[in-house]
Amino acid sequence: MSTSLPLSFCRFRGTSTATRAPFLASVKCSSLPSSISYSLIPFQPLQLFRSTAKTMSRSFSCVFYSLKTKAMAELGQDKKEYGAADAASNGGGRRPEVEHSRTFLEARSEQELISGIRKEVEAKRLPPTVAAGMEELYQNYRNAVFQSGDPAAAEIALSNMAVAFDCVLLELEDPFVFEPYHKALREPFDYYMFGQNYIRPLVDFRNSYLGNLSFFNEIEEKLKQGHNVVLISNHQSEADPAIIALLLEKTNPFIAENMIYVAGDRVITDPLCKPFSMGRNLICVYSKKHMYDVPEHVEMKRRENTRSLKEMALLLRDGTKIVWIAPSGGRDRPDSLTEEWHPEPFDSSSVDNMRRLIRHSGAAGHIYPLALLCYDIMPPPPKIEKEIGEKRIIAFHGVGLSVAQKICPLETAAACKKSEEVDYVPFTLCF
């Protein structure tokens, strides 16, 4: 007996067939034990996105036009107020105050922004390799925002990139140190909203989908009751946290803002990623896919991962925590021969670790599978790269998100005839 999972993403109108996700189509799971039955609600286009799309487009101009001015004040305040006390309370932070260049915040045009990059290189405040990445990022981001057709695209791209570049420069001047558990920095400068506003113009909300909203509501209700929730998900792009939060910010803002992401070390070391990571709640780990990049660092990475697991265990004891983890340990990539992409296989030990943490937390806990589609907005390099500083391709595109009903590990294990099926079931249920 096969089980049908109607997790079907509708094809985004106006897009190529290459964007169709085979793993998000209706799946016949003949490998699942016959005693397991899952009846899910098909994806629905979120009407909220459609009804507000025109209003959002018109409002972008005034909102983003003033963003840079507000950021100038908040970043200045950030430097004055973010001292040793805040660093201690967050478990990490900046070194004592340093002189900060305002080159990017004072840019009034694209030409001034680009020339500002070169000026900072000449002043030796910006490494040439990072500067090259910034220029490329600006061009790709600007082109993607223009794809939206928004009449304020030029102002949006300039404002967002000016603030982003200023944050990057500040990190190079005065690096932020991430602890195993990092809590999102929301004041005096709100790094969470900075990330949201940066990714928002890249999302085609009229062709975006949120599936199984009732399960997201169920999750939020369990969190209010003091339960813990773990979302086992595929991983598509560096923009995943912002995409998830953008799709849930109207219907489930508590989930959007309180999600804790298990994040690899690259997003907290890459200068172009760090400012965005500072706005998310993170459990910082070393990805298994990069564990052996530098052989002499392997033991250190293992120790740090153990430390991070202990931090997560302490967090779960308090209850009301929602944790996102990608058991694949990396982003989905297209097949090198067919150029079709599919979710990376899950590491069963990662799934089992989360099951154990939930079970021993002392609070009620639940595991839900999550499916995410946002590959086209910011796809990863075709192959895994050891070096920091990947090329970032950006596009304006529709996205999708859905959650399935919770997984009951004991019932699943009891229903499986073979031990390997236990590892396969959570992966299958997601897609």
Rounded Cα distance between 11 and 208, Å, is: 10
CA distances from 110 to 100, 106, 114, 159 (A): 21, 11, 6, 10
> For residues 23 and 29, is the Cβ–Cβ distance under 8 A?
no
Average pLDDT of the chain, as a whole number: 78
pLDDT (mean) for 27-46 = 38
286 confidence band (pLDDT: 50, 70, 90): confident
pLDDT of 277 strictly over 70: yes
Least-confidence region, from 85-89, 134-138, 153-157, 197-201: 85-89
pLDDT at 44: 45
Q: Is 190 a catalytic residue?
A: no
| CATH of the domain spanning 66-177, picked from 1.10.10.10, 1.10.1200.50, 3.40.50.300, 3.90.1300.10 | 1.10.1200.50
pLDDT of 19 strictly over 90: no
pLDDT at 288: 73
88 confidence band (pLDDT: 50, 70, 90): very low
pLDDT at 4: 30
> For residues 337 and 379, is the Cβ–Cβ distance under 8 A?
no
- Calculate what percentage of the chain has a pLDDT beyond 90: 52
241 or 40: which leads in pLDDT: 241
pLDDT of 282 strictly over 80: yes
Rounded Cα distance between 311 and 313, Å, is: 5
Q: Where are the domains of the chain?
A: 3-52+178-187+202-430, 66-177
> For residues 9 and 21, is the Cβ–Cβ distance under 8 A?
yes
Task: Give the CA-trace dihedral at 302, 304, 307, 313, to 10 degrees.
Answer: -80
193 or 344: which leads in pLDDT: 193
313 or 389: which leads in pLDDT: 313
36 confidence band (pLDDT: 50, 70, 90): very low
Q: Cis peptide before 188, with omega less than 30 degrees from 0?
A: yes
pLDDT at 141: 98
pTM recorded for the entire structure: 0.76
Least-confidence region, from 42-51, 121-130, 353-362, 374-383: 42-51
Q: Which residue has the tokens 């069963």?
A: 348
Rounded Cα distance between 46 and 254, Å, is: 19
pLDDT (mean) for 204-218 = 97
Rounded Cα distance between 179 and 282, Å, is: 9
CA proximity to 95, closest of 194, 170, 168: 170
Of the listed 86, 174, 265, 352, which one is catalytic? 174
> For residues 316 and 363, is the Cβ–Cβ distance under 8 A?
yes
pLDDT at 121: 97
CA proximity to 114, closest of 127, 102, 101, 104: 104
Kindly state which CATH superfamily the domain 3-52+178-187+202-430 is placed in: Glycerol-3-phosphate (1)-acyltransferase (3.40.1130.10)
pLDDT at 33: 38
pLDDT of 289 strictly over 60: yes
* Identical topology for domains 3-52+178-187+202-430 and 66-177: no
